[in-house]
């Protein structure tokens, strides 16, 4: 357990009579990057939201650093940073005010300036968040997810709306987080990003894991052959 960051055991999700995620098992190490790939409705976001605690599993258990959300929600929450798939904060705050607000929740105000620099928003610090482009919103959402330097970073479709330059920068940021000892679990439609940064890739379709690739075991970094199987 010493090097285990995230443990998912027999976790499933059912809404009414509809099973949106069949039971899954996943063990994630510290300093590991795992990508969840699949089309819409595959179950990627459901997994991310259950790990955050925003959605509760129908069955099974989830532990972060051996902490159970059901038993110690505050300490569990301190372990993670979460980037949702879109921006829903409508208050008239500037970029730096927005990030300071989230940083203050985890007593991480001292990291705000550095984090804005990492995501390339320093020059936009005083701009209202309601005026940001989609790509800039994504970068700000990433900033609030990493500002507290959490053990586990959860990212839901983080590259949506990013131009090619910032997709490349995003991959560099993830690799730097890995070097700092942080684990990253992210969902994506972008197979090229998964190829570049992931240690493992889980392919999901219709609420089930169809395939797992472990690049640490010398599997070629070529995911193109899985495109039709997963997305069509």
The domains found in the chain, sorted by start residue, are 4-220 (3.40.50.300)
Residue 51 has pLDDT above 60, yes or no: yes
What are the pLDDT digits (tens) for 84-125?
A: 987 777 678 999 999 999 999 999 999 999 999 999 999 999
Q: The tokens of 158 are what?
A: 């983080």
66 within 8 A of 1, measured Cβ to Cβ: yes
Residue 217 has pLDDT above 90, yes or no: no
* DSSP code at position 39: -
Q: What is the pLDDT of residue 232?
A: 53
What are the pLDDT digits (tens) for 120-147?
A: 999 999 999 989 888 899 999 999 999 9
Minimal CA–CA distance to 143: which of 164, 114, 171?
114
CA distance 166 to 148: 22
Q: What is the largest CA-CA distance in the chain?
A: 49
Terminal CA-CA length for the chain = 38
Phi/psi at 68 (5° precision): -105, 125
148 within 8 A of 106, measured Cβ to Cβ: yes
Minimal CA–CA distance to 50: which of 141, 144, 148, 156?
156
List the strands of the sheet with 208-214, edge to edge. 80-83, 152-156, 183-188, 33-37, 200-205, 208-214
- What rounded mean pLDDT belongs to the chain? 90
Pairing of strands 183-188, 33-37: parallel
CA distance 74 to 87: 24
């Amino acid at each position: 357990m010493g090097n285990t960051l995230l443990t998912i055991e027999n976790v499933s999700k059912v809404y009414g009579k509809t099973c949106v995620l069949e039971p899954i098992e996943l063990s994630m190490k510290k300093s590991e990057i795992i990508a969840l790939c699949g089309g819409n409705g595959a179950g990627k976001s459901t997994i991310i939201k259950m790990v955050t605690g925003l959605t509760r599993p129908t069955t099974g258990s989830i532990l972060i650093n051996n902490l159970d959300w059901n038993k110690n929600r505050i300490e569990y929450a301190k372990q993670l940073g979460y980037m949702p798939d879109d921006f829903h904060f409508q208050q008239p705050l500037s970029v730096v005010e927005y990030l300071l607000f989230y940083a203050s929740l985890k007593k991480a105000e001292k990291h705000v300036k550095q984090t804005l620099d990492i995501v390339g928003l320093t020059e936009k610090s005083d701009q209202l968040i309601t005026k940001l482009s989609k790509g800039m919103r994504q970068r700000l959402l990433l900033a609030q997810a990493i500002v507290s330097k959490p053990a586990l970073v959860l990212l839901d479709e983080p590259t949506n709306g990013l131009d090619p330059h910032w997709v490349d920068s995003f991959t560099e940021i993830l690799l730097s987080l890995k070097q700092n000892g942080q684990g990253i679990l992210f969902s994506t439609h972008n197979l090229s990003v998964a190829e570049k940064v992931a240690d493992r890739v889980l392919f999901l379709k219709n609420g089930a894991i169809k395939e797992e690739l472990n690049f640490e075991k010398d599997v070629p970094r070529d995911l193109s052959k899985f495109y039709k199987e997963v997305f069509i």
